[in-house]
Amino acid sequence: MFRFLLVLSLLVLAGAACASDDNSAGQAMTAGIEQFREGNYPLAREHFERSLGLGADTPALRYNLGVVCYKTGDYAAARNHFSTLLNGDSQALARYNLGLVALAEGRTGQARDWFGQAAADDAPDKVRQLAERQLADLSVQNNASRQQSMLARQGYISAGLGYDSNMAGVPEDSPSNRGSAFAELVAAGSLGYQATERWRLVWDGVFYGQDYHHDSDYDTSVLQARITALQVVDVWELGIRGGGSRAWLGGDELETRAGLALLARTDACAGAALLHGCSFELAAEQVNGGPGYGAYDGQWYRFEARGERTIERWLLEGFYRWESNNRDNFSQEGYVVNVSPRHHEIGIEAIYPLHPDLLVGAESALRHSRYDSPHQWLEQDVLVERRRKDTRLELGLMAEYWLNRQWLVRNQWLYRNQDSGIDRYDYDRHTLTVSLEGVF
């Protein structure tokens, strides 16, 4: 209760400040404060969001929205609203509340960093006292937790049925132009170990299998295992990950991969007015093709950047991905197939909660691919040489309904259209999947 004394006082001041601006926005703010005092936090949030939509985008309103989102358990939205205040007059209070959010999400290392910044000498006395109390509590909790197990376990399983209108096997190969129903299974598990306050290790493994009803030659399965070391540095979580995977196609070994990745994530992105959370990954892998797939031997590289933002009740996430391949390629008697593409891809995903148990979403991505050397083939006894360039558009819709706190049903439709410089790689592909997913 003590930690919310500042919250209550700011809500009252915010109402007085907003009422003098725009009458409609001020009325919505006042209604939100009244609902907050009555303990009706979801309705208070609706009023505050209405005030924001009417143009009252003030630090006080952003703070109030952060508070009600925190109270209703929407920590991502709370974090996003508080992050907009990091460069203003209320930055010490924003850091303190970001510490509370991190604490609620179980990220004690980041919570300690936020509280440490909020307890700086130039912070208001009241904020500094609250932050110092939180730091003291964390110290006590840390000493107690060291006497308990430092392991955290999590599991995930998904079983689904679907239809694929255009089966494809080897990545970037020409499609089959045949459709089939399929069944798929995903099983994943992770084990985390908190080595110190700032260091933790995570082991994870994934199995994925997809079996087609009409043609087992396109059946796919993947087995992956990784270990990640993560360290909290200021407001960043930095990590290095190593691991390997093996994939099979139609029962035959397709390829084996082993590699490393560098990771970085923060909830306090530069330019917080635009992005509230961002992450980066730089990865490299050695790839060894299985028997009959020696052309896939070589190296694979990827850089990915992601950013997220909450606008009212919408969660938006965008990404940019660069990927490069350096493979041996396939060559035989003048017939050359290049399997070393370089991809540039951008995409965005939007998720909206229609109901506490029902989420809907949409996604879109555009990818441009260029191959580093020409394909060659014989056409009516004439040798044709052409460099492959592809543009792929991807659209998707999703709905998921939570049956309880552990299980959900997901329905997903995905459409891909590829326009290639070589006609046989043009395709349209629709995939519809219904799955039952569980977290334990």
Domain boundary among 111, 145, 179: 145
Q: Are 289 and 255 in contact (CB under 8 A)?
A: yes
Burial class (CB in 10 A: 0-12, 13-18, 19+), 49: buried
CATH at residue 92: 1.25.40.10
The answer on 293 and 174 residing in a single domain is yes
Query: Dihedral angle at the C-alpha atoms of 271, 277, 282, 287, nearest 10 degrees?
Result: -150
The answer on 281 and 367 residing in a single domain is yes
The answer on 87 and 200 residing in a single domain is no
The answer on 160 and 21 residing in a single domain is no
pLDDT tens digits, the chain, 440 residues: what are they? 334 434 434 444 444 344 444 468 788 888 888 888 888 888 888 888 888 888 778 888 888 888 888 888 888 888 888 888 888 788 888 899 998 998 888 888 888 889 888 888 888 888 888 888 888 887 766 655 554 446 778 899 999 999 999 988 777 777 888 999 999 999 999 999 888 878 999 999 999 999 999 888 899 999 999 999 999 998 889 999 999 999 999 989 999 999 999 999 988 776 555 777 899 999 999 999 999 888 889 999 999 999 988 887 888 999 999 999 999 888 877 788 888 999 999 999 999 989 888 999 999 999 999 998 888 888 777 888 889 999 999 999 999 999 998 999 999 999 999 999 888 899 999 999 999 999 98
Q: Distance of CA 37 to CAs 8, 12, 25, 31, Å?
A: 8, 10, 19, 10
Domain boundary among 110, 145, 180: 145
The answer on 76 and 32 residing in a single domain is yes
pLDDT at residue 299, rounded to an integer: 96
Domain boundary among 145, 160, 193: 145
What is the edge-to-edge ordering of all strands in the sheet holding 330-332?
330-332, 335-337, 375-379, 382-386
pLDDT at residue 281, rounded to an integer: 97
The answer on 178 and 134 residing in a single domain is no
The answer on 187 and 164 residing in a single domain is yes
Q: What is the 3-state secondary structure (H, E, C) of the chain?
A: CHHHHHHHHHHHHHHHHHHCCCHHHHHHHHHHHHHHHCCCHHHHHHHHHHHHHCCCCCHHHHHHHHHHHHHCCCHHHHHHHHHCCCCCCCHHHHHHHHHHHHHHCCCHHHHHHHHHHHCCCCCCHHHHHHHHHHHHHHHHHHHHHCCCCCEEEEEEEEEEEEEECCCCCCCCCCCCCCCEEEEEEEEEEEEEEECCCCEEEEEEEEEEEEEECCCHHHCEEEEEEEEEEEEEECCEEEEEEEEEEEEEECCEEEEEEEEEEEEEEECCCCCCCCCCEEEEEEEEEEEEECCCCHHHCEEEEEEEEEEEEEECCEEEEEEEEEEEEEECCEEECCEEECCCEEEEEEEEEEEEEEECCEEEEEEEEEEEEEECCCEEEEECCEEEEECCEEEEEEEEEEEEEECCCCEEEEEEEEEEEEEECCHHHCEEEEEEEEEEEEEC
The answer on 321 and 380 residing in a single domain is yes
Q: State how many domains the chain has.
A: 2
β-pairing, 277-289 vs 330-332, is: unpaired
Determine how many CB atoms are found less than 10 A away from the CB of residue 381.
Answer: 5
- 261 forms beta bridges with 241, 283
The answer on 310 and 433 residing in a single domain is yes
CATH at residue 253: 2.40.160.60
Determine how many CB atoms are found less than 10 A away from the CB of residue 405.
Answer: 7
Q: By residue range, what is the domain housing residue 19? A: 2-145
The answer on 192 and 94 residing in a single domain is no
The answer on 286 and 206 residing in a single domain is yes
The answer on 107 and 168 residing in a single domain is no
pLDDT at residue 399, rounded to an integer: 97
- 331 forms beta bridges with 336
